[in-house]
Structure 1
Amino acid sequence: MYGSQHRLTLLLCALLLFLILTLIKLPNPSKKPAFSNCHFIFKPFFNYLCDGNSFGPFQVSNDSHNHVCYQLYSKNKHADLFARVQLHFQPFSNRKILFSDIENLSNSCLSCHHIQIIQNKLYIIPRPNAFNYQTRSRSVKLLIKQMMDTFPNTPDLDLFFSVQDMVDLPNGLNGVRFNVPIFAFAKTTRTKVGLRSDAVIPMPCFTLWSWPETRAGRWTDRSQSIVSAAQKIGYKNRIPKLFWRGVWNWKRLWYIDLAKENPDIMDIKDVSWNATANGVAHRASNAYVTLEGHCDYKYLAHLEGSSYSSRLKYLLLCGSPVVYNPVQYWEEHWYHLLKDRENIIVFESARNEAALKKLLDHLSHNENKMKRIGQKGQQLVLEYLSEHAVSCYWWKLMHEYAKLLGYQPTLHPDAIHIDDFLIGTLS
């Protein structure tokens, strides 16, 4: 009797299981998963792609030809974030990089920072003579860490980067192109200053992580704050003057002096800072204006610094047309996306007062057009300098660079894992 009941119970359980499998459509492993819960499945990088219960046109892929970074910032786009990456690496394509080349550059660029990626882990190689200024090198390392936290399988490599405004090597080495590139914030092909341009690979600026010393703070937070300020004031209510604030240098002096003679159309002033020992500004002159305050003006000037100036992205976020005067033509990794009279206004007639006044008159009589240029400049930054885009650019740089290596990197005996490094130092 007991055996019959037991068999009946097993039969009923089997029947119930069959009904469940029939009524519920099990996922087919050969098909791509539905992304109705993609916010819970994917890392934060992908969350912003989710739209309700649909995943949109994007495929989450790490395949080299269908990688999500290509889908977002290269394929089927009006602008290609990666358009110049291979061009930058082309001078190093003649032969593979050997370990002896790594040693040579390490001994030649003592001011460079050295990192390693081994088995998808980021390591810092301590270098006592590496150039440190404020928190620049720390921000670069955190940008790389963010990329590695987002994308798996970063190739093994040794990489050297500089946090100077321009790479400047001692002992006549600026004319040498080593077989290993140096990654830096900007380079120029128009002016022979610092390390030769074909030896430099532009990397995302440290400010795209954080710049606390100038009160700019975290890029993700400050960019949102500037856009909010721009939206509040609108465009018609802005002051119709060409506006700029910053630190004096020889490229900017002409504009500062001219503005003193033309206060009705220009407001361009030098800002003097008082800083603490670590470079953090604790008080500025009365001419200081916040980045959000720049949005009060209809026209913003972008003037180069000692080399490049990282200010441009902040200015574009205001949605006011930016008048950009390249003197030495320093370019960051994204400057190829700038289009004159489309998302920026290029003014190349420095020290020509008549030409500048003619330009400002043109701006004031074409308000609708200027508003569109400002909007496109703002959209450019929001799309191509977002934290997602910056991670994608670092991903592309790492994979293209790794193709050049002709040796298998091994862990340096002094290597420190990034987590231990960040706990122990701010450099």
Structure 2
Amino acid sequence: MRISPRTTARSPSYILPSVIGLCCLSLLFMLYKVNDFATQTRTVAGHNLEPTPWHLFKPKTFNHDALPSRAYKLLQCSYLACRYRNQGNDTEEEEEHRRSATSVAKAPKCPEFFRWIHQDLEPWAKTKISKAHVEEAKRYAAFRVVISQGKLYVDLYYACVQSRAMFTIWGLLQMLKRYPGRVPDVDFMFDCMDKPSIKKTEHVAKPLPLLRYCTNDDHFDIPFPDWSFWGWPETNIEPWTEEFQAIKLGGQETTWRKKELLAYWKGNPDVGSHVREELLNCNDSKTYRAQIMRQDWDEEAKAGFKQSELSKQCNHRYKIYAEGYAWSVSLKYILSCGSLALVITPEYEDFFSRGLFPKVNYWPISPNAICPSIKSAVDWGHGHLAEAQAIGRRGQQYMENLNMDRVYDYMFHLITKYSKLQDFKPVPPRNAMEVCADSVLCLADDSKQREYLEKTRENSVPATPCTLQPPDSNLIKKWKKEKKDVFQTVEDMNLVNEIPGPLP
């Protein structure tokens, strides 16, 4: 009898390919979910955010990394970069900072213009700031900031033009490092675009608290130091400490008597500014004593910013300041030259400009007759050399005194006073994300951004903020009246009659 050979059981031939296919599908699904999650992740660099609808600008573009690489970067920067910092309690180093902060030398008095902090927050002195107040201000904000137990959380709503949001938030992080354990818990909305939006005529019954870079008498918006104090990489403008020193040195390269006897302005007139458009008509060295230069930032970037270095624009005795779409960061750079700043009377003010006084730190130019007013100012300066030079020096000295110590002090006192008006305990919103120095650096998408961020990283030595003066509304009323009187005097002056003759 023939015995059949034993047959060995064999797996079906389709199982292995099926397993491999299933693994591939699972991997693809996982990658899809990771990428889908990443595309919903909003960052301070502007990822997955639309421009503010109240001030539109060209949407941001980012490096075209491969899909998995881009997703990994967003997740790494947003969710993992701050992880180790959060494990356990504060480090021994941070505890030492807090202990030693009280032993720092006695703090100086804050500059007088710090008194405006009380004035800006006065609308909420009686009503206080409720959580509902903050929530309602969201419709005017680009992002929300919550500081809780020394950590910074940000809830992002819209992208800000260029790197404004990134550098503003970086400044807040450096303030926390500078004053460890001293910054109170706080919750506020912030808009990073130009024009104030909380009109007093529309919100007088219930003012909404909103921080931004500028304000005026018609709005409740609360001014805060602008991003460019930490650098403006898109225009090749260094952080404030380095830029001021470079401009000051540039102003000293030519003596006062050898500086060009013209009023000089260089900038972008195509920003929806009536003042700048009118200023173009003043470009006549004989009739109006002015040299007006159009700046094209796109072309400047292509040329390596060789023609836009601010330190090389201090060769004229007179430099003109003209607002842009609203206020302009250029004011501090113009004053830094030491030339006589001719300020076309502005509609908006930032946090420090309210401490400047006409005919003390600058010469006012009438917005109603810009070209003739510039001519009159130059003619006056030509006939009053010592006085014009002294005003220019005082403007420069004002900006030199506004160092980063004072910038951080202003931020600290504003946030501290604001927090005392809150009638609720700040808690990070569900969608808010913690931000730390490592996460911001991780998101910086070019070398210039990272360079400026690293330059402005605060060291580990704690500081004591300057001493804030008490509120004095009468003093502020006095300042405003003095300015108004000078504006009117200059408006009415017939300076031409005081001049010995036309410029040579």
TM-score by length of 1: 0.73
Provide closer, same or farther for how the CA distance between residues 422 and 174 of structure 1 changes in structure 2, counting only shifts above 3 A: farther
Q: Please tell me whether the aligned partners of residues 135 and 426 of structure 1 are also in contact (alpha carbons under 8 angstroms).
A: no
Secondary structure in 2 matching 1:123: strand
Equivalent residue for 2:113? 81
Q: Which has the higher helix share?
A: 2
The one of 391, 396, 403 aligned to 2:413 = 396
In the other structure, the counterpart of 2:315 is 296
Q: 1:375 aligns with which of 389, 393, 412?
A: 393
Letter of the 1:302 counterpart: Y
- The equivalent of 1:244 in structure 2 is 265
Matched, 1:197 2:203: no
Instruction: Please name the residue that 1:176 is paired with.
Output: 203
Q: 2:150 aligns with which of 96, 99, 120?
A: 120
Q: Which string of whole-angstrom CA distances, capped at 9 and with x for unpartnered residues, describes residues 182-239 of structure 1?
A: 00111122xxxxxx512x1000111111111111122221111111212232322211
Structure 1: distance between partners of 2:298 and 2:355: 36
Is residue 363 of structure 1 aligned with residue 400 of structure 2?
no
Q: Distance in 1 between matches of 2:305 and 2:282?
A: 20
Name the CA distance, whole Å, in 2 between partners of 1:409 and 1:330: 31
Paired amino acid for 1:252: R
| Counterparts in 2 of 1:147 and 1:290: CA distance versus 1, 3 Å | same
**Is residue 2:186 matched to residue 1:157?**
yes
Give the secondary structure class of the aligned counterpart of 1:268: strand
Aligned position for 1:282: 302
Distance verdict in 2 for CA 1:143–1:355, change over 3 Å: same
Match of 1:56 in 2: none
**1:255 Cα deviation after fit:** 2.3
> Could you say what secondary structure the match of 1:300 adopts?
strand
CA distance in 1, matches of 2:232, 2:146: 24
For residues 122-271 of structure 1, the aligned pairs below 5 Å read 122-125=152-155, 127=156, 129-152=157-180, 153-168=182-197, 175-176=202-203, 179-189=207-217, 197-198=219-220, 200-248=221-269, 249-260=273-284, 262=286, 265-271=289-295
**1: CA distance between counterparts of 2:288 and 2:133?**
57
What amino acid sits opposite 1:121 in the alignment?
A: K
Structure 1 residues 254 and 103: CA distance shift in structure 2, 3 A: closer
Q: CA deviation at 1:285?
A: 9.9
**Distance change >3 Å, CA 103–CA 265, structure 1 → 2:** closer
**Equivalent position SS for 2:374:** helix
User: What's the offset of the Cα at 1:149?
Assistant: 1.1
Question: Residue 282 of structure 2 contacts residue 288 of structure 2 at CA under 8 Å; is this kept in 1?
Answer: no
Find the aligned partners of 2:179 and 2:304 in 1 and give their Cα distance.
Answer: 41
Question: Cα distance, 1:340 vs. partner?
Answer: 1.1
Percent identity (aligned): 21
The alpha-carbon deviation at position 136 of structure 1 amounts to 0.5
What CA distance in whole angstroms lies between the structure 1 residues aligned with 2:314 and 2:376?
23
Distance of 1:285 and 1:336 partners within structure 2: 31
CA–CA separation in structure 2 for the residues paired with 1:285 and 1:381: 24
Do the aligned partners of residues 188 and 98 (structure 1) sit closer, same or farther apart at CA in structure 2, a change above 3 Å counting?
Answer: closer
Q: In structure 1, what residue type is equivalent to 2:142?
A: C
SS of match in other structure, 1:281: helix
- Count residues with an aligned counterpart: 342
C-alpha distance in structure 1 between counterparts of 2:427 and 2:167, whole Å: 25
Residue matched to 1:27: none
Distance 2:313 2:250 in 1: 9
Asked which structure has the greater RCO (Cα within 8 Å, sep 6+), the reply is 2
1:104 aligns with 136
Provide the secondary structure at the position in 2 that maps to 1:382.
helix
Distance change >3 Å, CA 260–CA 60, structure 1 → 2: same
**Letter of the structure 2 residue corresponding to residue 73 of structure 1:** C
Q: Secondary structure at the match of 2:284?
A: helix
Partner SS state of residue 260, structure 1 = coil
Alignment partner of 1:331 out of 320, 344, 349:
349
Q: Is the 8 A contact 2:279 2:371 kept in 1?
A: no
Contact persistence 2:366–2:373 (CA under 8 A): no
Q: Is there any run of 5+ residues in structure 2 with no aligned partner, and where?
A: 1-95, 446-504
Maintained 8 Å contact 1:139/1:207: yes
Encode CA deviations 1:316-353: one digit per residue, 9 max, x unaligned.
111111000025x2101111211111111111253264
1:153-201, CA deviations, whole angstroms, 9 ceiling, x for partnerless residues?
A: 21111111111011448xx999336554100111122xxxxxx512x10
Match of 2:211, SS state, is: strand
Which amino acid in structure 1 is aligned with residue 203 of structure 2? V
Q: Check the 8 A contact 2:275/2:367 in 1, yes or no.
A: no
| Greater Cα offset, 255-264 or 301-310 | 255-264
- Please state if 1:60 is matched with 2:104: yes
Q: Name the residue aligned to 2:422.
A: 405
Q: Which amino acid aligns with 2:302?
A: H
- Cα distance in 1 between the residues matched to 2:279 and 2:352: 26
TM-score, structure 2 length as denominator? Answer: 0.62
